[in-house]
Amino acid sequence: MEDLNMSVCNICGGNEFISGPGGRLSLTGKPPKCKGCSSLERHRCLREIYLQLNNFMPFKKMSALQISKDRAIDPEWFASHELSIYGGDNSIDIQNIGRQDNRYDVVICNHVLEHIENDYLALKELMRVSSDSGFFN
């Protein structure tokens, strides 16, 4: 795995980095935020994980549900990709996802659960709509 706090952003290919929120620097003392796409270490780390996963379980035949935008994820990787944005036209209540069981091969839900009233119910729903051969994160 490449150094994710590095010289080239694995999301946009940018090579300029600036301080993170509140002027934060990375643990190595380098500026963590990509100037090109605003990604932080966690975005680039997730991107790397998905890129590695895609090597042995190709996403091109998979359906994905993504709860909230995440710059680490490229919708083009998947055969189908549904995006829910809170308050948007396709806003899904993850405590009551109106989709059939096992509907999606990949369910992506990063930095969302902490904003949900009943996270236990949300986790049950995310598991319910995830296929048995798929995964969610």
Residues that bind Zn ion (CB under 5 A): 9, 11-12, 14, 34, 36-37, 39
14 vs 31, which CB is nearer to Zn ion? 14
Minimum CB–partner distance for residue 100 and Zn ion (Å): 36
Residues in the chain: 137
**Full DSSP string of the chain:** ---SSSSS-TTT----EE--GGG---TTSS--EETTT---HHHHHHHHHHHHHHHHS-GGG-EEEEES--TT--GGGSSEEEEE-TTSTT---TTS--S-TT-EEEEE--S-GGG-S-HHHHHHHHHHHEEEEEEE-
43 vs 81, which CB is nearer to Zn ion? 43
36 vs 95, which CB is nearer to Zn ion? 36
Minimum CB–partner distance for residue 16 and Zn ion (Å): 9
Minimum CB–partner distance for residue 110 and Zn ion (Å): 17
Minimum CB–partner distance for residue 5 and Zn ion (Å): 12
34 vs 73, which CB is nearer to Zn ion? 34
